[in-house]
Structure 1
Amino acid sequence: MVGDGLNSPRHQGGKTVTSENQNIFPDKYSMRNTRILNLKRVGLKGLSEDIIETACAELVNAVSLEDNLLTELPWELHRMSELLTDLDLSKNKVSFIHSFVSRFSRITRINLSCNLLRALPMEFAGLQTLCELNISHNRFDHLPSCIYELEKLEKLVANDNKIKQIDASDCGLGALRQLNYLNLNNNDIQLVPPVLGNLTNITKLKLSGNPFRQPRHQILASGTGAILNYLRGRIPM
């Protein structure tokens, strides 16, 4: 059981229920056929061991916990560390990610959007199979440095935070050689560094809704190629 006391799921009549007495035990045959544990919008405040045990037995590799009441990455998921490839924790109240996240040795996609996150643990850098990360609609004031260690990362969605600057150096975004999609819309970015234009692996770049003056809206509206060309033209000789 989850160790959060009164808010944990509990057993009644052999079923796993939330604190609101709603039966939320998923159908194991559906899990077997789809390899998905789907617990969207069921008022979850935690996960029970029996749900995870069943998911492991059915070789589930995708877990959706979207739109619940979770405040952290559920500890019980560590039992799925060698199975999990897709994790959706969007639309919760998550403010903390446990360091055991580094055990997800096969994970390719994580959605943490619409939560209360301000930071990610350094152990996040261990997710060397991660291709897609969504941290939009959180409270980040900078991109966590652990993200720059994700060598397989192709898509980074970080719009609608409070990010103030872009690190496009070889130790920042420049280290992500596979990155082709970057969304930094609606942040608090004051300056776009010209060296960002050197990251030609990026084919989709979104920067609208920030307070910087250059590039102007007309260039932003012209697409990624125009933005990168403009930035390269401003790199000092």
Structure 2
Amino acid sequence: MHTLAQLRAGALAGLKRLDLSCGLTEFPREIFDLADSLEVLNLSGNALSSLPDDLHRLTHLRVLFCSDNQFRELPACLGQCAQLTMIGFKANRLERVPAAALPPLLRWLILTDNCISELPSELGERPHLQKLMLAGNHLQSLPASLSQCHQLELIRIAANRLTELPQWLLTLPGLAWLAYAGNPLETEADAAALEATPNIPWSQLHLQQQLGEGASGVIHQALWVQPSQPERKVAVKLYKGHMTSDGSPLHEMNACITAGLHPNLIKVEGRIVGHPQAQAGLVMQLIEPSYRNLAALPSLASCSRDVYADDTRFSAAVALRIASGIASAAAHLHQQGITHGDLYGHNTLWNEHGDCLLGDFGAASFHATSDTLETRALQRIEVRAFGILLGELLERIDSGLSAERRERLMDLQSRCCQPDVLSRPGFEEVETALRAA
């Protein structure tokens, strides 16, 4: 994090990324001294409510973060920034999004956790739009013009006021990651599964080291000590109460429970009751330390695509075991009326044998279990996400794959990603094709 004193002293000359979080109520004019170099500007965590009309003087600005401020309107000056591709205004007080605020090269828009009830139709006139984060607003509809955004791959519309999914949304050729939980349109979670989940008293859990933290909660290793039972090592996830980019953490918890048992899903042992701060949480299977994330989160440059370490390589046997495991888990979820919504390498844990687990249900949504055109489309949107993952695995196979097998797998990958949503195979067909390969 940089300081205002550094900026004013001229100590940041030539800087490409500036991070300022120091209670700002006005935009520091000294930022314009960096106009010849500045590409990423992060002003999150201040008390700003406006930006200067001449912001376009930052001619190299590509990324702007202004989350956790006090804006009520997306500033119109953003639309004049010719190189601006990514805008983040999460957790402000936004009520209005003027068409003039949308820059021509817009690729990634984050408006999560605001008070927006309407979006301008001009949003669909941004052909580079790839990632759209709108969870936690007051939207009752989406602009029909978004049907023109054929590069749109990820949409988060959870926790709004939508009563139906527009038909054009289900036909977008590039869409692979969709989250819509917490809207009136969503099918309810399986009440029987929720009620059947064991309650685990907080007093039986002894937290140990922290294992990780995400937007929705914190995971600890813990000892579970039950009366007349040997103590067990488990993982405890305590959920945060506020909105994430994917949606509500409590919806995530319900999806984890409803998902049920599958060898490629992390087992839920029970729901925590009696927490002293009434915090919601789950007790889950503790994953062996030999498991690691398949990939890293998308970067500012990759936008909707995971980032893999340069030395990531697999044998054909390991890659296909991972692919088969994830396809099997996704098929199981669809049978339960759940779309994962975030089927990615960074949410896949794996070990050197190719054993794998699909985690992170933050973007999961419920749909009808009956076979309707909407259900089929929702499931095949997720098949495209799997096709992208399969392609990433195939690119990194270094041994054990003949030209004929590679051709068969590339054909499967192509069918999973084809632009005609309903022509993609379902996961049962994907599993059959992987076994044949």
Classify the TM-score, shorter chain: 0.7 to 0.9
The structural deviation recorded for 1:69 is: 0.2
Secondary structure of 1:205's match? strand
Q: Does 1:192 align with 2:165?
A: yes
Give yes or no for contact 2:147–2:168 (8 Å, CA) kept in 1: no
**Cα distance in 1, alignment partners of residues 138 and 79 from structure 2:** 26
The structural deviation recorded for 1:216 is: 7.2
The structural deviation recorded for 1:87 is: 0.4
The structural deviation recorded for 1:198 is: 1.1
Which residue of the partner structure matches residue 133 of structure 1?
Answer: 109
Which residue of the partner structure matches residue 180 of structure 1?
Answer: 153
Which residue of the partner structure matches residue 64 of structure 1?
Answer: 42
Give yes or no for contact 1:60–1:83 (8 Å, CA) kept in 2: yes
Which residue of the partner structure matches residue 219 of structure 1?
Answer: 337
Give yes or no for contact 2:75–2:101 (8 Å, CA) kept in 1: no
The structural deviation recorded for 1:75 is: 3.5
Letter in 2 for 1:89: C
Closer/same/farther in 2, CA of residues 163 and 205 from structure 1, 3 Å limit: same
Which residue of the partner structure matches residue 374 of structure 2?
Answer: 231
Which residue of the partner structure matches residue 81 of structure 2?
Answer: 104
**Cα distance in 1, alignment partners of residues 155 and 20 from structure 2:** 29
Letter in 2 for 1:204: W
Q: How does 1:122-161 map to 2 (within 5 A)?
A: 122-125=99-102, 127-161=103-137
Which residue of the partner structure matches residue 73 of structure 1?
Answer: 51
Which residue of the partner structure matches residue 9 of structure 1?
Answer: none
Which residue of the partner structure matches residue 3 of structure 1?
Answer: none
* TM, length-normalised to structure 2: 0.42
Which residue of the partner structure matches residue 34 of structure 2?
Answer: 55
Q: Which runs of 5+ in 1 are unaligned?
A: 1-15, 18-22
Q: Does 1:46 align with 2:26?
A: yes
Of 186-195 and 204-213, more deviation after overlay is shown by: 186-195
Letter in 2 for 1:106: Q
Closer/same/farther in 2, CA of residues 144 and 219 from structure 1, 3 Å limit: farther
Secondary structure of 1:197's match? helix
Closer/same/farther in 2, CA of residues 97 and 213 from structure 1, 3 Å limit: closer
Letter in 2 for 1:193: P
Secondary structure of 1:133's match? strand
* TM, length-normalised to structure 1: 0.74
The structural deviation recorded for 1:78 is: 3.2
**Cα distance in 1, alignment partners of residues 67 and 167 from structure 2:** 33
Which residue of the partner structure matches residue 87 of structure 1?
Answer: 64
CA deviation vs aligned residue, 1:62-99 (integer Å, no higher than 9, x gap): 1110000001234352321x221010011100112343
The structural deviation recorded for 1:27 is: 6.9
**Cα distance in 1, alignment partners of residues 132 and 52 from structure 2:** 23
Q: Which runs of 4+ in 1 moved over 4 A?
A: 26-31, 213-218, 222-227
Q: Which runs of 5+ in 2 are unaligned?
A: 191-335, 344-365, 378-437
Secondary structure of 1:75's match? coil
Give yes or no for contact 1:96–1:117 (8 Å, CA) kept in 2: yes
**Cα distance in 1, alignment partners of residues 89 and 7 from structure 2:** 23
Secondary structure of 1:25's match? helix
Letter in 2 for 1:163: L
Secondary structure of 2:155's match? strand
Give yes or no for contact 1:26–1:38 (8 Å, CA) kept in 2: no
Letter in 2 for 1:159: A
**Cα distance in 2, alignment partners of residues 211 and 71 from structure 1:** 32
**Cα distance in 1, alignment partners of residues 162 and 189 from structure 2:** 13
The structural deviation recorded for 1:191 is: 1.4
Secondary structure of 2:178's match? strand
Give yes or no for contact 2:52–2:77 (8 Å, CA) kept in 1: no
The structural deviation recorded for 1:142 is: 2.7
Which residue of the partner structure matches residue 114 of structure 1?
Answer: 91
Closer/same/farther in 2, CA of residues 195 and 29 from structure 1, 3 Å limit: same
CA deviation vs aligned residue, 1:118-177 (integer Å, no higher than 9, x gap): 11122134x22111000111111133323111110000000011111244x4xx221111
Q: How many residues align?
A: 204
Greater share of residues in strand: 2
Give yes or no for contact 1:26–1:39 (8 Å, CA) kept in 2: no
The structural deviation recorded for 1:215 is: 8.9
Give yes or no for contact 2:130–2:153 (8 Å, CA) kept in 1: yes
Letter in 1 for 2:28: S
Closer/same/farther in 2, CA of residues 74 and 115 from structure 1, 3 Å limit: farther
Larger Rg computed on CA atoms = 2
Letter in 2 for 1:219: G
The structural deviation recorded for 1:26 is: 6.2
